[in-house]
Structure 1
Amino acid sequence: MLPVPIRRPYEIESLPQTRMSALLSILLRLGDMVVLAAAAVLAYRLRFGSLSMPIEFERAIARGLLFTMIVLGSSSCYSGWRAKHWTRHGFRLLALWVMVFVLGVLYVALLKVPGVTSRLWWAYWCFGTVVASVALRVVCRAVNRYAVSHGHDVCRAVVVGDAAAASRVAQQLRSCGAHLVELRGWFSVMPDAREAIAGVAHLGAMDTMRAYVASNGIRQVWIAPGDASAPWLTSVLGSLEHSTADIKYVPNVCEREIFNGSVELLNELPVINLRASPLNGEARVIKGVEDRVLALLILLVVGPLMALIASGVKLSSPGPVLFKQKRHGLDGKTIEVWKFRSMRLHAESHGEVTQATREDPRVTRFGRLLRRTSLDELPQFFNVLEGTMSIVGPRPHAIEHNNYYKSVVQNYMQRHRMKPGITGWAQVNGLRGETDTLEKMSRRVDYDLYYIQNWSVLFDLRIIVMTLAKGFVGAGAY
């Protein structure tokens, strides 16, 4: 596992960023730009009594927007705005805005830019920007608290460990994340533990945790081993092998020196991510927007082709145009994936799904063409618009296959920490079609997990380009 850079306490990186808070963070980024420009226009109106602004002032605003993207965009001000103790974040925000305006003034002074030397205009602009930016965050905090308090997109968490360490984690979560995390309770590592933690329900022994996490939508598991060694850690990780919950590890005093800079901080509590994905919070919103915009554009282009394919499917053999199959989606939830039907209607034995093989007699002649060119996958762009799939991600397997492979391929179910995709990193690297050996499936899982851990918009675009170049037709497509 790659080391995680150490974080400042006020960033609260270990607390979850829900879809609501991620959207608000993106709106804050856009809002700061709007606030800066609007404050400049209002300052000019107050200083000069007019809204007709000379080009020199417009250029000063454009430079201010650029400095804002650089200074605020590279800081933590878009991750700490939800903190319970907001004073430190507020002072940091003030310092960042002052830096933006100092850069603007220095640019004008050093390059002797004419026409924008009004000190009163600069003062009005800076003051208005800071006030409006703070007000914007107050509103966002209120909206986020209201949404979470009404049960929208709440992160449910549990703690597992000894009583003292679990109590310490619970206290820190309550002190800075009570409105962000719904702490359901704690599991004791000793079967006969009877210690009580004030305000935190005892959910039972460790051996009952797996079932509870799976049935109660738990998104975070906090492991707190205490000051003694934790031989039970392997058991905890093993019990969560098929869970998509994030796992946070709170090291004991001795272990802090071992992990050194690979920890985050929750207030003053060091936390190590044993399992996490870059696709959280804002990143998940960005990928969702990316998916829907691209899917809509692609459907507008391929719409006529899809109509022709639908006619071909209908004429090739009796039966519906679309084939619908239950698959596991994000967090292992059941979704319905759509394809153009490429096989003749047939019945499978209950609980079995037979993978298509080369020269499979069930595949129609027209269906064989669709499968070789992957055109049978086109209806899945509607799945993307629906929000159950992504354009790029781990390919969804049949539920029956998941139930089999999760017990024989290590970390198999971790593929479901991300929405399934129409194409993926495994597919553009030649891992398509039938997985008739465990080695093939293991390699596919390795590629999928690499993609999940290294996701970025550029990585998605790279995979899309590779798919266009070589992904539609290949030896594994049949």
Structure 2
Amino acid sequence: MHLPAQSFVGVPPRNGGVLTRTLDFAVIALGALVAARFERLPDGGGYDSALLAFALLVSALVFPLFGLYRIGHRRIFVRCICAPVLAWLLSLVVALVVVVILGDPWRPDNLRVLRWTLFSGTGLVLVRLVACVLSRRRERHIAGSRAVAIVGSGEHCRQLLRKIESTPNSRWIVSTIFDTGLDMAAAPGAMPAFHDRSGFAEYVRRYQVKELWLALPLSEERTILDFIELFRRDLVNIRFIPDVSGMALFEGEMIKLEGASAINLVGSPLSSDALVIKDRFDRAFALCALTMLCPLLIAIALAVKISSPGPVLFTQKRKGANGRIFEIYKFRSMRIHQAAHGVVKQATRNDPRITRVGAFLRRTSLDELPQFLNVLRGDMSVVGPRPHAIEHDTLYQNIVDGYIHRYRIKPGITGWAQVNGFRGETDRIEKMEGRVEHDLFYLSNWSFGLDMRIIVATIFKGLVHRNAY
């Protein structure tokens, strides 16, 4: 059975009783355990366990009689305090009477029973108070939700459904779908999917769905006009959510430009708010990293200085966000040498230019640590596409599709490509294409959680790699 649009509001969950019963049994058992451990009292020869077992059995019979698992609208004091306390006291008294009769001349420890009564009774009340607060919050959210009918098909429609379902506290609830294609034979979950317009229109009118979203490509102009005509005499809000996946490099985001709406076809996939959050995290993380790694940085600097003549840090111009040029910092890992003008030769395996200390630093990625200074300066991020030498940018942006879009955001010390094995020398075009593919995936799917995942992966498996030399 599908859930009609008008029944979304005020529908309490009907299967909460199983969870509540389980919590009640757990609270009763935990209360008995805490009471028994509170003091080192002598064991009751198995009768204490029998008392707990009978208490659980009796409560399973008595609690429903007090309406503890019924959906009701009684006042909180009665439903959450009076009813569970009275039901628990009655269950415990009955269990005590049974065990005392069967276990004569055994008698329970009064202090232990009193503590058990208080601990479990308090727990039963707290469980219901928490459940009541969560239920009220859910009811307020559902009461403010609005049903929506969606017209569309394919991946664009499925992506829209996933966004609605995954958005915390979303005010929209999808009631039904009109499938304009053949690849969505059934709607997700229990909602109905229509292929005939008359049935779809009847459903929307019967359940008074006030929102109609047209998730269609721009080429479906005839379909868009047909649905506008279909509901022209109804008080239904019709909104167009165009599918621009065939034209947009990243997911098309709707923005406001001087009061006019626009869809980003080629632009930064991260919103201004996301960029601010990312920048604040980057600077805080870099400051903490530099503070904690200060002794290691000093030791590496001394080792580099002793290993060969020359400066401790190596600097090179790289492109940052939006193509802005900056100087990247690294610990010097090579001997001082004269490079040909306009030519940057990548390090190769067993490269004679690399010092013994430098080989270790490159293999363990410790030569990258000074880039936290670049992060503090705002030139780089902790996570992002790795920056390449400007000469390589000029070469690859003309032969690797989408290469230039890596610079829509700040380059990073580590990135999605690096933790997936795309690092080191790019002696074949396929390696650079794989790196760019992963960088664009990162841009399209950025989230704070993904950054955390990449940082953790870098720490545990990304510092040392066979391609790092």
Instruction: With the length of structure 1 as denominator, give the TM-score of the two structures.
Output: 0.46
Instruction: With the length of structure 2 as denominator, give the TM-score of the two structures.
Output: 0.47
Structure number with bigger Rg:
2
